Structure 1
Amino acid sequence: MKKSQRFWMIGLYYLIAFILIAYFGHREIRDAINHSAQYLKNADVEGFRDYLLSFGSMAAVVSALVMVFQSIIAPLPAFVITFANGLLFGWFWGAVLSWSSAMAGAILCFYMAKIMGRPIVEKIVTKKALNWWDQFFAKYGKHAVFIARLVPIVSFDLVSYAAGVTSISFWQFFWATGLGQLPATILYSYLGQNATSTVKILFTIFSIVIALVVIGMILRPKFRTRGKGTKEQKDNGRKIR
């Protein structure tokens, strides 16, 4: 391990130790984290909005910290935070807050994977999930992150951690993540501002539509190749006749 890697590894361990001490040593912090996690698990957008309001002028900061927290540690649905931000801050500023805090979480995960290495990342996201990503990355290369970000059902955390142990550069990861998550962030923020009561239904419909669009984009070249092959076979058959 290089000297710089050892330095960042030690810093990472201290950060994890600080978070654990803060969580288990302070009841208020523990209760705050547990409450926010409960709202996210239940997809309770209005409840999470009210929870953020209880922090007053610090609401945006708490929202950003929760977004980063769920990106790094907890496998919780981030779309609830995005909906709640749209409801609380309006679709535009809610989208800005959700996008920037999700980017911060993604960047932290990416560099944590670089520092920790594949063996530790396998323990975080499981070896099976990382193997799936290896195949996905081998197939789509530098476009893999962008495609994965477009599909809401693909784990945000998995992509961030897994990309960190591939050959993809930081800037490729940065732009693919930023552009890939932008459409969903804007839409969720707008829907959060206008239609919170149907959040689960809207999220499911959007996920299915986006998944179908991305699958169509991926399979389109294959269908074109098959179509050309069939046409050539027909033309050859006509020539023989």
Structure 2
Amino acid sequence: MARVLYIEDERDIGQWVLKDLTGRGHQVHWLTSGEGIDEHISTADVVILDVMLPGLDGFSIGRRIKKDQYDLPILMLSARTSVEDKIEGLDFADDYLTKPFHPDELAARVDVLLRRYQKQDEEMELQHLLVHTRDGRIVHKDTQEEIQLTGKQYHLFQFFLKHLNQILTKEQLYEGVWGEQYMEGDKTLMVHIRYLREKIELNPANPTIIETIRGIGYRVKL
């Protein structure tokens, strides 16, 4: 069974795909636009993404997903059949399927992507924390309590984990997590790091996991 994040605004197609993949044993979360993706992307094993969507189109959403999670497979769906559209989609996505399609082919392509990106659940020890790398769960080793992070806190922590032992500047962190240019004097990053420390540090006033590198930025050491 896989956890599928499916983004499709055409109701008939969406209900049909939802029913078929659920019947094959997958857990499917269906969205009709890019809104709300951040709440579900961290637990997804594969993303099925339509190109034509209200608001941000599928190409823009897919590139944003890959920027944050390069190892999350994306299957694009589209009625666009031109070579140019396929090339644009495959510039970042892992597969491109044109409409109309047979449900068996969609299921087979999903299975191929899952095998290609199959992840083993590994545990990373980070002082008093136990991090499950497959689903991103964070557990306090002594109490066995799971630490719940908000969407931005989760992405910020994952960005640190992808760059363990590296000193990261405020600009690198902000642009890597928010996808926007950092503006000097903006307190957004500082506030999120403070809230993140309150959840993961034994003593947030004297943090040992997220180190402040004075005059430069921050670092998480293994």
TM-score (norm 1): 0.21
Task: Answer 1 or 2: higher relative contact order, Cα 8 Å, separation at least 6.
Answer: 1
More strand, by proportion: 2
Greater helix share, structure number: 1
TM-score, normalised relative to structure 2: 0.22
Larger radius of gyration: 1
